[in-house]
Amino acid sequence: MAKRSAGFLVVSGRRVLLLQRADHVNNPRLWGLPGGQRDRGEVPYETAFREAWEEMDHIPDHRLVGEIVVRRKGKEYRLFVCRATKAVRRTWRPDLNGEHRRYRWAKLRWCRENRRRLHPVMKAVVGCRASRRALKAILRGAERLPARRGLRAPAARIALKRPEAA
């Protein structure tokens, strides 16, 4: 793999946290997840945490419920699916750095209806039926993602992992 990245997919109630990318970065104005490229010697969760901290200044309290691995175009993206409380949407506000313009708590339906406005990684997650179903289960209160490998999405391969394997 040429490039390895990691990020957080934060769930609160039946919504997911999305950040809109700024005009001067890759994939401008698209809605994506906090995360970025791994530094040498970093494990994926460290990358996700560091990148989210850099992009939002602080991270809401959360519990890890699984991991989604997206492989596309020779790149690997490890998304740590985290559950935050419903209250987070009222009490927590990210202090976005210059990489992002704004944030939103979006329903999965909004993501499906606005796929053209999503970052390619989030678009792959939403485009894969199995990952979308697993994410729906989490949004409805399931405690963890089911473990599945070799899922296909448009132009991507996706794997779901439980927290023990993360």
- How far is the C-alpha of 16 from the C-alpha of 9, rounded, in Å? 7
By the 10 Å C-beta count (0-12 exposed, 13-18 middle, 19+ buried), 149 is classed as: exposed
Residue 72: pLDDT band with limits 50, 70, 90: confident
How high does pLDDT run on average in the chain? 88
* Dihedral sign computed on CA atoms, order 18, 108, 6, 157: negative
Q: What number does CATH give the domain 3-165? A: 3.90.79.10
Residue 165: pLDDT band with limits 50, 70, 90: very low
Encoded amino acid at 58, one letter: H
Angle between helices 129-139 and 120-127 (to 10 degrees): 90
- How far is the C-alpha of 23 from the C-alpha of 95, rounded, in Å? 18
Give the model confidence (pLDDT) of 31-58 as tens digits. Answer: 999 999 999 999 999 999 999 999 999 8
The overall pTM is greater than 0.85? yes
What confidence score (pLDDT) does residue 157 get?
A: 60
Residue 111 has pLDDT above 60, yes or no: yes
Percent of the chain at pLDDT exceeding 70: 87
Q: Which of 20, 159, 163 is nearest to 78 (CA)?
A: 159
Percent of the chain at pLDDT exceeding 90: 63
Q: Where are the domains of the chain?
A: 3-165
Residue 166 has pLDDT above 50, yes or no: no
Rounded average pLDDT over 1-11? 89
Helix (H, G, I), strand (E, B) or coil at 158: strand
Helix (H, G, I), strand (E, B) or coil at 157: strand
